[in-house]
Amino acid sequence: MTTAKDLFIIAMDPRQRRSVGQGDLSLALAAAELIDLIDAHAITVDGDRIVPGEPAAPADRLLGEAATALTRQAPYERIEDWLWRRGRDLSAAYQTALEEDGELTRKRGGRSPFGAERVEPVDTPARRRAVERREGQEPVLAALASVVGIDGERTEDDPGLDDDSVTTVLAVAHDAVMELEAVRQRRSIENAAFANIWRGP
């Protein structure tokens, strides 16, 4: 399992106190892919840009797609641009992949067979490993979880984040999620103002 899949599994845990937005999760999944590619020595980070190494073929299909999607010509792609480009609908892609792998199942809420459908992790070895990483406060997974609002706030200075490239990716992911939230709030205010105009005095 990749860090991105572990992150998706813990984000879908029904015991979560708050649900994670698809946009936030997609950005964090794209960041998790970069971190796994850094760990595999498939990329390096130079300032705020992603520098690909030798073309690699990760065993994981989605991580392989991420590696293939890298910009391989100078001046290379900025991390922020990658997160927005790769992150588009990425949570849906991970949900589909994990359902196909038998890691997720669909359930209906409440007693009614017509209740709202939700997706939950299946109790598999992969899920148990993801939970162990989370409960053990594995630094990278914990930092990614905090980016999407799971397990409270965490800073780049927390112990364990001793790789500057990983720290940079996490900081950019955090900023991107904050930017997405600002866009949501702005749209909400604009929609409320528009509704008030139509409603009249």
> Which tokens sit at 48?
């705020």
As a whole number of angstroms, the distance between CA 136 and CA 51 comes to: 31
What's the confidence (pLDDT) of residue 20?
Answer: 84
Q: What is the pTM of this model?
A: 0.85
What's the confidence (pLDDT) of residue 157?
Answer: 47
Query: Does pLDDT of 113 surpass 60?
Result: no
DSSP single-letter state for residue 21: P
* Orientation angle between helical segments 79-86 and 22-39, nearest 10 degrees: 120
Q: What percent of the chain has pLDDT over 70?
A: 83
Query: Does pLDDT of 192 surpass 90?
Result: no
DSSP single-letter state for residue 53: -
User: Cα dist. 85→31, 157, 190 in Å?
Assistant: 11, 28, 26
- The single-letter code of the amino acid at 187 is R
Residue 160 confidence class, pLDDT cut points 50, 70, 90: low
What's the total number of domains in the chain?
A: 1
5 burial (CB, 10 Å; 0-12 / 13-18 / 19+) is buried
> Which tokens sit at 149?
């609002």
Handedness of CA 28, 89, 195, 197 (dihedral sign): positive
Residue 198 confidence class, pLDDT cut points 50, 70, 90: low
- C-alpha of 60 from chain center: 16
Full residue range of the structural domain in which residue 109 is found: 3-199
Region for 41 from its dihedrals, namely left if φ exceeds 0, alpha if ψ lies in -120 to 50, beta otherwise: left
Query: Does pLDDT of 186 surpass 90?
Result: no
Q: What is the pLDDT of residues 131-153, one digit of tens each?
A: 999 888 899 999 999 999 886 55
Residue 199 confidence class, pLDDT cut points 50, 70, 90: low
* Long-range pairs of 35-42 with CB within 8 A, sequence gap ≥ 24: 35/3, 35/140, 35/144, 35/166, 35/169, 35/170, 36/2, 36/3, 36/4, 36/63, 37/63, 37/66, 37/67, 37/70, 38/163, 38/165, 38/166, 38/169, 42/67
Q: What is the pLDDT of residues 4-23, one digit of tens each?
A: 999 999 998 877 766 788 89
As a whole number of angstroms, the distance between CA 66 and CA 99 comes to: 19
What's the confidence (pLDDT) of residue 178?
Answer: 92
